[in-house]
A and B are shown apart, each in its own frame.
Chain A
């Protein structure tokens, strides 16, 4: 065995595998795992009944539903409209394309509080958009719809930026092949283009979804923060922190963490499954 091991040792082109892996683990530990560990550590000061009571209190339960629901819907809407934006940016040439392309990144760069205040002003009863929507019976400010709008705003770039490069690399011959086989334009899109974009769409969805789950700044300005109705989970955590009840705050944070992790992991599995054709192993 010992001789086999030395023989089996691979010679790599890039040196320093152990060094870089060591650094990666150390860095991730320092930046990600230790703070997250502290969350669990603090939570552990609660007893099980206390923990259970905290995470199942009615306002918290309502906030989970709202946060995960609104984030999911916002990410889903972004998948559709982000794909359209990416499609237009890749497939067509038009005046001002560079500017539109740059606009997509704005939600990345803008401080989220600024975005929140802007949206709240626009959609308030006297705001430009709110004024128009009021006669239709639609209120965006201080409502769940407002939260959804804010989360859609911050999530858009994730979809566009993940789909865009894949769409650019898509070989036009694939579409030509499909149409010479008799496929209509719609069939070409549905059966050839969309399946090839699915892994990228899922990645974009996961990123936008994760971003929306943790979003705080833009939402609190437009949500109105009415208990049981428009309070998002990060706000509940903030409220506990304001009362210096760190164990309770971290307990709710643990719920967020665990659920987010499970959801993102399942998206990754799904993504791996849709991308399975890219394997080269001759099974």
Chain B
């Protein structure tokens, strides 16, 4: 039981939006399509909805629970779609917006008026907007509009729910509230859901699995933990959060950066070659005691202790560049680093990529 796309190619002029993409979303799963703009994530979503069609009609397939819907238009696919800018019908009340999908059904399958009312009321309750059924969309806030758009899509009992940057047009606070609400909603109704986002935090927080897209291809797919802890490529590593790059070599089971040699288990058995080490800012430890070959020296440029963690900017003394470190509040208070001070740096959790590491 799944929603599946197979071998989809889609081009717009000379631009390849989807380059032979295949994806399988299990029934009841909440999957995020994450990627920078132009990576094809929205095109993939629209292809599933039937708003775009693959170029390679022969090989490409879109399957809803085994049923081939590749050539079925959007109006008959029963895929609920929510747009970034809501696309609510301005001339209809909130109630009528939600009822739209039921009212346009042919006579034979259209529920009686009483049932339509009951269903819309139920959805208004679900999106916590019961008293606002008579308002027009222009009288609602952005967050409320997006919830109406979701209810409207859910009203037709879709086989899959597709959300195109659902929180992209909202301010940061509403965004966080709404994505938690979406997670709860999904836990409640368990509808197979795909949502597009370019916000890694959003993708990691909300979804069961994350698919990372780049240049029309799926770079990696996995649970948020999997892709965060074991990124398959430098691109994924970089895309999922702040990262420091140190260029060096892999040699005898260690990563060598300048005079520093850091024993790294994953480097064992690797050939002697050039490599780039990726280190997250929170995987950097600062100390005042020299730690031999494991540590190197750096100068503190700037400290910013506002917020739950302290962010530091540092510069390596061998002149090979700047990097960022993140300390917990306690670590920061114990160490009390000052701008201009020289300090020892230890890299704790290194991930290195020895081949082409372009990001």
Contact = CB atoms under 8 A, between A and B. Distances in A.
B139 A280 contact: yes
Interface stretch (A17-25, A76-84, A180-188): A180-188
B100 interface: yes
A282 B138 CA distance: 9
A191 B90 contact: no
A276 to B, nearest CB: 8
B6 interface: no
Interface string A143-175: 000000000000000000000000000010110
A194 to B, nearest CB: 10
Contact of B156 (A176, A181, A192, A276): A181
A177 B83 contact: yes
A183 B75 contact: yes
Contacts, number: 84
A157 B85 CA distance: 33
Given A183-B75, A278-B90, A178 B100 contact: yes
Contacts of B155: 181
B90 A277 contact: yes
Interface string B51-63: 1000000000000
Contact of A180 (B75, B85, B105, B136): B75
B90 to A, nearest CB: 5
A44 to B, nearest CB: 46
B336 interface: no
A181 B100 contact: yes
B101 A196 contact: no
B139 A279 contact: yes
Contacts of B90: 196, 277-278
Nearest to B83: A173
A184 B83 contact: no
Nearest to B89: A192
Given A177-B87, A196-B91, A191 B100 contact: yes
Nearest to A187: B104
Interface in B105-132: 105
A179 interface: yes
Interface residues of A, number: 26
A277 B138 contact: yes
Nearest to B91: A195
Interface string B314-339: 00000000000000000000000000
Interface in B26-81: 49-51, 73-81
Nearest to A190: B104
A173 B83 CA distance: 8
A181 B91 contact: no
Contact of B78 (A178, A182, A191): A182
Interface in B131-181: 136-139, 149, 152-153, 155-156
Contacts of B92: 195, 277
Nearest to B109: A182
Given A179-B73, A181-B104, A196-B91, A280 B83 contact: no
Given A176-B74, A177-B81, A277-B90, A182 B136 contact: no
Nearest to B79: A180
A222 B223 CA distance: 78
Contacts of A195: 89, 91-92
A184 B81 contact: no
A191 B104 contact: yes
Given A173-B85, A176-B74, A187-B104, A181 B138 contact: no
A197 to B, nearest CB: 10
15 contacts: A176-B87, A177-B88, A177-B149, A178-B104, A180-B49, A180-B74, A181-B100, A181-B101, A181-B155, A182-B75, A196-B91, A277-B138, A278-B138, A279-B138, A282-B139
Interface of A: 171, 173-174, 176-184, 187, 191-192, 195-196, 274, 276-283
Q: Which 8 A-B pairs have the closest CB atoms?
A: A181-B101, A173-B87, A177-B87, A277-B136, A183-B104, A180-B81, A179-B75, A195-B91
Given A176-B83, A277-B91, 19 more contacts: A171-B87, A173-B87, A176-B51, A176-B81, A178-B100, A179-B74, A180-B49, A180-B51, A180-B81, A181-B156, A182-B76, A183-B100, A191-B104, A195-B92, A278-B90, A279-B136, A279-B139, A280-B139, A281-B139
